[in-house]
């Protein structure tokens, strides 16, 4: 029974994607703007449904960081609506001519952006993903199948219901937006076998979820395994700037993938920088796990185990290490990092250039917080996730990253010899 339901849902999405590819920009934007308005009008309803998820999360004793990601407030819902409004204002990538070639034989060849087709989003915890993904997929003319985690099921269904109802009023094809309301994991397994109808899978959540999806899927998967993000405080850093950047990267929102998990400090400025920096962290409730050099400089710091350097805490926990210089910092990042977001704080232009060239992450920063790795902050309106892959998409996935391309060739009777 479920196999037939899965097949029907995927096929309906495929059929809808072909209709959606013909919908013009103005019609898509009108629908997205109306959807933003619907979110603002239904704040109370969404918060009531979200409260059911929060109550269950507390009953299960889920972490405070996870509950924070799960929680919807009036401000967060209005931010979701604002994100949709921003998506509506962005340039439509569909139909954009990427390249034009005129061949000696007179053939005119154009490389043109097109939708990917049907995208399956598998995600955990954060209900705002529901609205962001719907907005981005609609604008880029992709049908979307949403499968959120059981911990946010009431919130996700509420947001979907509000947005889909509005989209249908604006003649967006039925099936272009769909959600899996059944939390049975076997449904996901069935969807991952629907190559030919589903074109791309984007998992958003913990590393174990993403690896499981990548292992089982017969469909291409864009992965974001985890965010073990680093900030390296160079000997040539402005220490006040470094302190503010590091504090923001860890404390402003610790339960997200672009938060700093490891801070590296050049040994030449460690004594001047670390004691006050660690006190500032500790006053904010951050647990510090340090290398031997850190423990010698600051009393009461817990020792960092080898596993800590690989860990995405998503919480108020920070690993701290003193390094001999930029080369050791780069080597540490390339060994323990996750190719997500890494930063150097320095006034030394040569060190900045070396760090930018040598650190092979999706986003590399000089004198700025890793917390900026975000579709909205990058001017993309929102994001489908942060890809740590190197093929097709890397970093924040906005509208352009949700397209493929095809070649359109104009002739006037040419045949090949």
Say what the pLDDT of residue 255 is. 83
Neighbours of 247 (CB within 10 A): 17
Say what the pLDDT of residue 1 is. 55
Q: Are residues 191 and 292 in the same domain?
A: no
Q: Are residues 41 and 147 in the same domain?
A: yes
Say what the pLDDT of residue 369 is. 98
Distance between CA atoms of residues 33 and 186, nearest Å: 35
pTM of the model: 0.86
Range of the domain at 44: 2-222+397-410
Q: Judging by DSSP bridges, how do beta strands 363-366 and 317-323 pair with one another?
A: unpaired
**Contact yes or no for 176/19 (Cβ under 8 A):** yes
Query: What is the block-wise mean pLDDT of the chain (417 residues), using blocks of 10 residues?
Result: 86 97 96 98 97 95 85 96 95 97 98 98 90 96 95 96 96 95 88 95 86 93 89 98 98 92 98 97 97 94 97 95 98 96 98 98 97 90 83 89 97 95
Q: Are residues 202 and 326 in the same domain?
A: no
Distance between CA atoms of residues 242 and 339, nearest Å: 22
Burial of 191 (C-beta count, 10 Å sphere; 0-12/13-18/19+): buried
Say what the pLDDT of residue 258 is. 95
CB-based contacts of 323: which residues, under 8 Å, 6+ apart? 232, 264, 265, 266, 267, 329, 332
**Contact yes or no for 314/205 (Cβ under 8 A):** no
Backbone angles phi, psi at 343, to 5 degrees: -135, 150
Q: Are residues 276 and 186 in the same domain?
A: no
Domain assignment present for residue 391? The answer is no
Estimate the crossing angle of helix 74-89 against helix 128-139, to 10 degrees: 10
Q: Are residues 199 and 266 in the same domain?
A: no
Q: Are residues 244 and 108 in the same domain?
A: no
Q: Are residues 271 and 210 in the same domain?
A: no
> Phi-psi bin for 175: left (phi > 0), alpha (psi -120 to 50), beta?
left
Half-sphere exposure of 249 (CA within 13 A, CB side): 33
Domain assignment present for residue 389? The answer is no
Backbone angles phi, psi at 288, to 5 degrees: -100, 130
Domain assignment present for residue 318? The answer is yes
Report the candidate in 173, 199, 194 with the shortest Cα–Cα distance to residue 21: 173
Domain assignment present for residue 272? The answer is yes
- DSSP secondary structure letter of residue 340: S
SS3 266: strand
**Contact yes or no for 82/64 (Cβ under 8 A):** no
Q: Are residues 50 and 185 in the same domain?
A: yes
Helices (H) and strands (E) in the chain, counts: 14, 16
Report the candidate in 214, 14, 222 with the shortest Cα–Cα distance to residue 118: 14
Distance between CA atoms of residues 90 and 309, nearest Å: 39
- DSSP secondary structure letter of residue 127: T
Give the strand order in the sheet containing 403-410.
97-102, 108-115, 403-410
CB-based contacts of 353: which residues, under 8 Å, 6+ apart? none
Q: Are residues 192 and 244 in the same domain?
A: no
Alpha helices in 117-229 (DSSP H): 128-139, 153-169, 185-191, 207-216
* Helix or strand (DSSP H, E) at 407: strand 403-410
CATH code, domain carrying 121: 3.40.605.10
Distance between CA atoms of residues 81 and 141, nearest Å: 19
Distance between CA atoms of residues 194 and 113, nearest Å: 24
Q: Are residues 121 and 49 in the same domain?
A: yes
CATH code, domain carrying 338: 3.40.309.10
* Helix or strand (DSSP H, E) at 56: helix 43-59
Reported residue count of the chain is 417
State how many domains the chain has: 2
Q: Are residues 162 and 45 in the same domain?
A: yes
């Amino acid at each position: 029974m479920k196999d037939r339901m899965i097949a029907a849902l995927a096929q309906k999405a495929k059929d809808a994607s072909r209709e959606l590819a013909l919908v013009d920009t103005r019609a898509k934007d009108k629908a997205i703007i109306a959807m933003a308005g619907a979110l603002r009008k239904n704040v109370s309803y969404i918060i009531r449904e979200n409260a059911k998820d929060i109550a269950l999360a507390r009953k299960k004793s889920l972490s405070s960081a996870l509950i924070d990601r799960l929680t919807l407030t009036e401000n967060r819902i209005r931010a979701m609506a604002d994100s949709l409004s921003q998506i509506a204002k962005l340039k439509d990538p569909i139909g954009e001519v990427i390249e034009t070639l005129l061949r000696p034989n007179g053939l005119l060849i154009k490389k043109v952006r097109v939708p990917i087709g049907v995208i399956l989003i598998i995600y955990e915890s954060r209900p705002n993903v529901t609205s962001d993904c719907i907005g981005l997929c609609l604008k880029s003319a992709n049908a979307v199948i949403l499968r959120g985690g059981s911990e946010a099921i009431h919130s996700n269904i509420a947001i979907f219901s509000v947005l889909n109802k509005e989209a249908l009023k604006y003649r967006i094809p039925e099936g272009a937006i769909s959600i899996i309301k059944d939390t049975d994991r076997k449904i996901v397994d069935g969807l991952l076998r629907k190559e030919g109808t589903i074109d791309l899978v984007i998992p958003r959540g913990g590393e174990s979820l993403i690896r499981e999806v990548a292992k089982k899927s017969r469909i291409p998967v864009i992965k974001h395994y985890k965010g073990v993000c680093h900030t390296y405080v160079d000997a040539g850093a402005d220490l006040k700037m470094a302190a503010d950047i590091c504090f923001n990267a860890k404390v402003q929102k610790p339960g997200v993938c672009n938060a700093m998990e490891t801070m590296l400090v050049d040994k030449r400025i460690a004594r001047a920088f670390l004691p006050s920096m660690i006190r500032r962290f500790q006053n904010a409730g951050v647990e510090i796990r340090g290398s031997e050099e850190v423990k010698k400089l600051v009393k009461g710091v817990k020792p960092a185990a080898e596993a800590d350097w690989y860990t995405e805490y998503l919480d108020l926990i920070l690993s701290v290490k003193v390094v001999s210089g930029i080369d050791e910092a780069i080597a540490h990042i390339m060994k323990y990092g996750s190719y997500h977001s890494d930063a150097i704080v320095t006034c030394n232009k040569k060190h900045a250039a070396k760090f930018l060239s040598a650190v092979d992450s999706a986003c590399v920063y000089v004198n700025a917080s890793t917390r900026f790795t975000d579709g909205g902050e990058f001017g993309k309106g929102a994001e489908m996730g942060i890809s740590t892959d190197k093929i097709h998409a890397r970093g924040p996935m906005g509208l352009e990253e949700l397209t493929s391309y095809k070649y359109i060739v104009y002739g006037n009777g040419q045949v090949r010899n």
